[in-house]
Amino acid sequence: SDATAAATTVDGSALAGRALAAAGTRHMFGVVGIPVTSLASRAAAAGVRFLAFRNEQSAGYAAAAYGFLTGAPGVLLTVSGPGCVHGLAGLSHATANAWPLLMVSGSCDQADAGRGDFQELDQVAATKPTWKILAKLAALAAAVSGRPGGCYLDIPSDVLHQTLPESEAAALIAAAANSAASDPAPAKHKSLDEGVEKAADLLRRAERPLVVIGKGAAYARAEEAIRKLVDTTGIPFLPTPMGKGVVPDSHPLSATAARSLAIGQCDVALVVGARLNWLLHFGEPPKWSKDVKFILVDVCEEEIELRKPCVGIVGDAKRVIELINREIKDNPFCLARSHPWVEAITKKAKDNVLKMEAQLAKDVVPFNFMTPLRIIRDAILAEGSPAPVVVSEGANTMDVGRAVLVQNEPRTRLDAGTWGTMGVGLGYCIAAAVAEPERLVVAVEGDSGFGFSAMEVETLVRYQLPVVVIVFNNNGVYGGDRRSPDEITGPYKDDPAPTSFVPAAGYHKMMEAFGGNGYLVETPDELKSALSVSFRARKPAVINIIIDPYAGAESGRMQHKN
Ligand code: ADP
């Protein structure tokens, strides 16, 4: 009754938990402690599944990946001070990758701030460089509007403990539900139609057109529209690492295996949801032709202003490509397979694929990177649809893996991303398992990448998630201690090399320690058997693959930057 409602009181923790639920939050990732323990259980009581991590850093990476996979902000909960600092990793990673995330952090008592309170930190100042907006629960809507990114919500301890009558709480919760329901789509840009017309015209007149598909297109769920564009125009496409799968890698117009030729010689590039940043060589010579005309489709106007393309279209990738498709339909064109450009790309791709397959076909033991990646690729492909989510990090493991592993479904690859962040793997796995419960999750990790967040194998076991973590164990970063004797000098010459870890570490035993399944493999047959058993079991597993420490290159393919 109204009388009882007026008499009951609600504290800040319950209010925040219920408001998050009312605003549509389904999952929350974090670590509890002072002052947010109650907030986590109150949110769970209101229907939000709380995934409790061992470190806020991994929880933050989980929330970031969840935002990418679902299009709803991943919510990260952290304790005050040091918890907030650890959480910054995820907040900034989300912003760097343009993925929606809301970090909710408890902070110290406002009354004691400035006098050395427990876990005191000016958290608003500390997080400021990385967030888009700071504004109560409108932050949830803000995380997904315009260019997605990280948002920060600070809740001081005294606010969490404050109480208010149930009737007032109910009104605030209703307001939170409404704020989340408001349309996050950006306002229609006045030049949209003009841009679409120009884009279609440029593509039609191009001699060597190319479609570049970024992870923004994957995020926008533009797969059907882009697939249709590629199929009706016959234009070859090149995905960025996380754009892989928007159009299947197996599609005959994939230019992945002819990347240098495609970007070096295209005369018009339609770039959808990808920044012309370091990953795409800034869109400049020598990798790109100096005369290439870019058509950029991005939800973020500043991005387009920054790059000054020939045609810039501000808008949602799915919507814009649908409009381009409609524009083309009135006057359709299609490059024939015998078109010299298409022929050049497909021939080059086929040659390169044959070369790579020849390398992959060999069973090299002790293992290089190629042999186990081929076996893993085939095991993943044998899973069919829904395809597993592949998580990948490391130097050589990620570089070689990007070329070998096949993505035929959108949003099935998660990797180090725009920042080249190492340590994302286990958090990503947990996010993928809860966001895509029908898919198996397979992480292909360098031993270094795995080590950043290896304790989260306990989290995998606790929630019994269908995640198989494969560790490429080559004794350290790039391959452990590979110094020549004359490089080893100075007072600390007897120390292990900064690149080295304990050789042949028993990473699989970490999983066994918590009751999951561990496998140590050194041969193709052992690997095939471990994959087959663990894929079928759909239970947490670590497969520890011993790799020849001399098989990899320093810095993977980024030697020039080290
Ligand atoms: P990649 O790493 O795949 O090259 P980037 O992270 O560099 O991709 O670029 C992704 C781009 O996608 C960002 O500039 C972002 O603003 C943009 N983006 C995000 N959401 C959308 C959307 N719905 N439609 C179009 N572009 C989007």
ipTM above 0.90, yes or no: yes
Mean pLDDT of 142-166: 89
**Residue 420 — left, alpha, or beta (φ > 0 → left; ψ -120 to 50 → alpha)?**
left
Give residue 261 CA to ligand 1 midpoint distance, Å. 24
pLDDT for res 477:
85
Interatomic CA distance for residues 175 and 22, integer angstroms: 9
If pLDDT is split at 50, 70 and 90, which confidence band does 550 have?
confident
Kind and range of the H or E run holding 360: helix 340-361
Answer yes or no: is the C-beta of 101 below 6 A from any ligand 1 atom. no
Answer yes or no: is the C-beta of 223 below 6 A from any ligand 1 atom. no
- Judged against a pLDDT cut of 50, whether residue 187 lies above it is answered with no
Write the DSSP symbol of residue 432: H
If pLDDT is split at 50, 70 and 90, which confidence band does 480 have?
confident
Alpha helices in 481-538 (DSSP H): 507-513, 524-537
Interatomic CA distance for residues 545 and 549, integer angstroms: 12
The number of the ligand 1 atom at minimal distance from the alpha carbon of 216 is 12
Give residue 216 CA to ligand 1 midpoint distance, Å. 3
- 357-395: per-residue pLDDT in tens? 999 999 999 999 999 999 999 999 999 999 999 999 998
Answer yes or no: is the C-beta of 279 below 6 A from any ligand 1 atom. yes
Nearest CA to ligand 1 atom 6: 97
Give residue 273 CA to ligand 1 midpoint distance, Å. 4
The number of the ligand 1 atom at minimal distance from the alpha carbon of 280 is 4
- 232-268: per-residue pLDDT in tens? 999 999 999 999 999 999 999 999 999 999 999 999 9
Give residue 259 CA to ligand 1 midpoint distance, Å. 20
* Residues 233/199, Cβ–Cβ less than 8 Å: no
**Residue 429 — left, alpha, or beta (φ > 0 → left; ψ -120 to 50 → alpha)?**
alpha
Nearest CA to ligand 1 atom 21: 216
* Residues 306/201, Cβ–Cβ less than 8 Å: no
Answer yes or no: is the C-beta of 316 below 6 A from any ligand 1 atom. yes
Answer yes or no: is the C-beta of 413 below 6 A from any ligand 1 atom. no
Mean pLDDT of 268-275: 98
- 191-234: per-residue pLDDT in tens? 789 999 999 999 999 999 999 999 999 999 999 999 999 999 99
If pLDDT is split at 50, 70 and 90, which confidence band does 505 have?
very high
pLDDT for res 172:
87
Answer yes or no: is the C-beta of 277 below 6 A from any ligand 1 atom. yes
Q: Is beta strand 163-165 parallel, antiparallel or unpaired with respect to 9-11?
A: antiparallel
- 307-316: per-residue pLDDT in tens? 999 999 999 9
pLDDT for res 331:
83
Answer yes or no: is the C-beta of 93 below 6 A from any ligand 1 atom. no
Which of 275, 301, 415 for a ligand 1 pocket mutation test, highest count of atoms within 8 Å of Cβ?
Answer: 275
pLDDT for res 485:
86
- Judged against a pLDDT cut of 80, whether residue 407 lies above it is answered with yes
* Residues 380/405, Cβ–Cβ less than 8 Å: yes
CB atoms within 10 A of CB 128: 11
If pLDDT is split at 50, 70 and 90, which confidence band does 182 have?
low
Interatomic CA distance for residues 419 and 90, integer angstroms: 12
- Residues pairing with 76 in the sheet: 29, 103
Task: Kindly give, in sequence order, each residue whose CB lies less than 8 Å from that of residue 245, ignoring residues fewer than 6 positions away.
Answer: 218, 239, 387, 407, 408, 409, 410, 411, 412, 413
pLDDT for res 561:
65
* Residues 534/543, Cβ–Cβ less than 8 Å: yes
What separation, in Å, do the N-terminal and C-terminal C-alpha atoms of the chain show?
68
Answer yes or no: is the C-beta of 78 below 6 A from any ligand 1 atom. no
Answer yes or no: is the C-beta of 215 below 6 A from any ligand 1 atom. yes
Give residue 223 CA to ligand 1 midpoint distance, Å. 14
* Predicted TM-score (pTM) of this structure: 0.95
- 1-53: per-residue pLDDT in tens? 556 655 799 999 999 999 999 999 999 999 999 999 999 999 999 999 999 99
CB atoms within 10 A of CB 81: 20
CB atoms within 10 A of CB 114: 10
Kind and range of the H or E run holding 313: strand 311-314
Mean pLDDT of 472-491: 87
Task: Kindly give, in sequence order, each residue whose CB lies less than 8 Å from that of residue 485, ignoring residues fewer than 6 positions away.
Answer: none
The number of the ligand 1 atom at minimal distance from the alpha carbon of 277 is 7
Write the DSSP symbol of residue 55: -
Interatomic CA distance for residues 35 and 537, integer angstroms: 39
Closest CA to 391 of 467, 476, 280, 460: 467
* Residues 306/300, Cβ–Cβ less than 8 Å: no
If pLDDT is split at 50, 70 and 90, which confidence band does 551 have?
confident
Q: Read off φ and ψ for residue 370, nearest 5 degrees.
A: -65, -50
Interatomic CA distance for residues 468 and 388, integer angstroms: 10
Which of 300, 301, 304 for a ligand 1 pocket mutation test, highest count of atoms within 8 Å of Cβ?
Answer: 300
The number of the ligand 1 atom at minimal distance from the alpha carbon of 319 is 24
- 321-337: per-residue pLDDT in tens? 999 999 999 788 899 88
Answer yes or no: is the C-beta of 240 below 6 A from any ligand 1 atom. yes
pLDDT for res 184:
47
Give residue 512 CA to ligand 1 midpoint distance, Å. 39
CB atoms within 10 A of CB 267: 16
pLDDT for res 385:
98
Interatomic CA distance for residues 341 and 536, integer angstroms: 44
pLDDT for res 527:
98
> CA Rg, the chain, in Å?
25
Give residue 297 CA to ligand 1 midpoint distance, Å. 9
Q: What is the mean pLDDT of the chain?
A: 93
Least confident span in 56-70, 277-291, 441-455, 541-555: 541-555
Q: Does the bond joining 386 to the residue before it have cis omega, within 30 degrees of 0?
A: yes
Which of 101, 215, 259 for a ligand 1 pocket mutation test, highest count of atoms within 8 Å of Cβ?
Answer: 215
